[in-house]
Structure 1
Amino acid sequence: MSSPQRADRAPHPSDRVVTSLRERKKAKTRRTIQEEALRLFAEQGYDATTVEQIAEAAEVSPSTFFRYFPTKEDVVTQDDYDPILLEAIRAQPPDLPPLTALRAAFRTAFESMGPEELDRTLARTKLSTSVPALRARITEGLFATIEMLAGAMAERAGRDRRSPAVRALVGAVMGVMLASLFTWVEQNGRTPLPVLLDEALGYLEAGLPI
């Protein structure tokens, strides 16, 4: 009779492989759904496109669509960038000034995005700023990002996330981010977003000289 496995045993390498494969498959499905949704939105408009059409194009069932994106709006507004940025912030040397650390973290986060991912982000940003139904969801996402940045910078500085200094810093950075996004959309992506944002953060870091 075999002995029972310890509940606290370390995962077997094969377990990690299975988990990794499963996560990659889920990420691929999520990406395919979003790509097909953006393609259909561009071809026939956001309002005219249904979840059923997106699911059919992505070769998944509508129920699978809803497992990845609770609503049609979410297929445009949801992304995985905040966790990536948070990890990049925490990886910065503790002696860096706050804005320098944030600027470096944004560079690191953008390095994980290839040209295709940036193109999808541009398409999503255009939709988010032009479709009334999406604007409220974008506001929710901005508040979530503000909270994430405030928590990360407060953690670095050993300050309360609600302190005026932390909130002023995060507010200034979010203003720079929004200005960079608007410029990116106006230029139709001519200047890469990482370049626009890094330049804008540089102005902020230098005290906003004009």
Structure 2
Amino acid sequence: MNLRERKKLRTRKAISDAAIALFLEHGFDQVSITQVAEAAEVSRRTLFAYFPAKEDLVIQRLADHETEAARVVRERPEPPVSALRAHFLERLRERDPITGLCELPAVLALYRLIQDTPALMNRMIEFHRAGNRALADALLEKAAVSPLVASLAADQLTNVRWWLALGNNARIAGGTSADDAYPAAVEAAEQAFGLLVDGLGSAGMR
């Protein structure tokens, strides 16, 4: 990565950091783009160059995970469902924020902000749709299924991962430590992916 790219990443992070700090203090709907730009010491034009929509100031924190499931399916040797199950269990052991099993205050605050803000939850639907499309393409390559089956399977797999994450986050937000919540998180993941294996196994995705 060259100097210009590193500078752009730093600017992007600084804008997002400033926005999220304001959103957490005042509420997403109560903060304007102008206020975010002023806090980040950039122009509105610069802000929109990095973040086309206000919701992107928050959801960009998850950008690396948007096509993660597709990458896992393509890169791992196991069949798709088993690959995603193994990957999710690995991330649980690592207390990865994307699994919801993370007690870092900043992560808990971000989850709370997203879940308490209708506009951000709507943006998460778009986020998942993009991930679904990428995952469906990966399933078409890996499992040699029809486009219909790939799309249906991608939707189920995405929803399972998201609802597992929300369940884990709810336990942590309720005061349970990540270590104490870990056994229940593993049990839920095993059960959820087990149901998918039963349902999608006939399509060669076991």
Aligned: 1:181 with 2:169: no
Give the corresponding residue for 2:129.
143
Equivalents in 2 of 1:142, 1:59: separation in Å? 31
Mapped partners of 1:91, 1:104: distance in 2: 13
Aligned to 1:13: none
User: Is 1:60–2:42 an aligned residue pair?
Assistant: yes
TM-score after normalising by structure 1:
0.70
Deviation string 1:59-99 (CA, Å, 9 cap, x unpaired) is: 32221110111121221233232244433332212xx1221
SS in 1 for 2:66: helix
Q: Which residue of 1 aligns with 2:25?
A: 43
- Among all aligned residue pairs of Structure 1 and Structure 2, give the percentage whose two residues are the same amino acid: 35
Which residue pairs with 2:142 in the alignment? Answer: 156
Greater fraction of residues in helix: 2
In structure 2, runs of 5+ residues without a counterpart are: 199-206
Q: Distance in 2 between matches of 1:56 and 1:206?
A: 49
Cα RMSD (Å): 3.4
When residues 181 and 146 of structure 1 are mapped into structure 2, their CA distance, relative to the original with a 3 A threshold, is: same
- Equivalent residue for 2:116? 130
In structure 1, list runs of 5 or more residues that go unmatched: 1-18
Which one has more relative contact order, counting CA pairs under 8 Å at least 6 apart?
Answer: 2
CA deviations 1:135-193 (Å, max 9, x no partner) are 32222222222222111122111223322xx344323322322322322442328565x
Q: Distance in 2 between matches of 1:80 and 1:52?
A: 27
Name the counterpart of 1:8.
none
Asked if 1:80 is matched to 2:68, the reply is no
Cα distance in 1 between the residues matched to 2:14 and 2:186: 30
Cα separation, partners in 2 of 1:56 and 1:107, compared to 1, 3 Å: farther
Which of 189, 193, 199 pairs up with 1:201? Answer: 189
Is residue 88–residue 105 contact of structure 1 (8 Å, CA) maintained in 2? yes
Q: Which residue of 1 aligns with 2:74?
A: 90
Residues 71-129 of structure 1 show CA distances to partners (whole Å, capped at 9, x for unaligned) of 21221233232244433332212xx1221112234467787x6899x765543432232
1:85–1:106 CA contact under 8 A, matched in 2: no
3-state SS of paired residue (2:28): coil
Contact 1:86–1:148 (8 Å) recurs in 2: yes
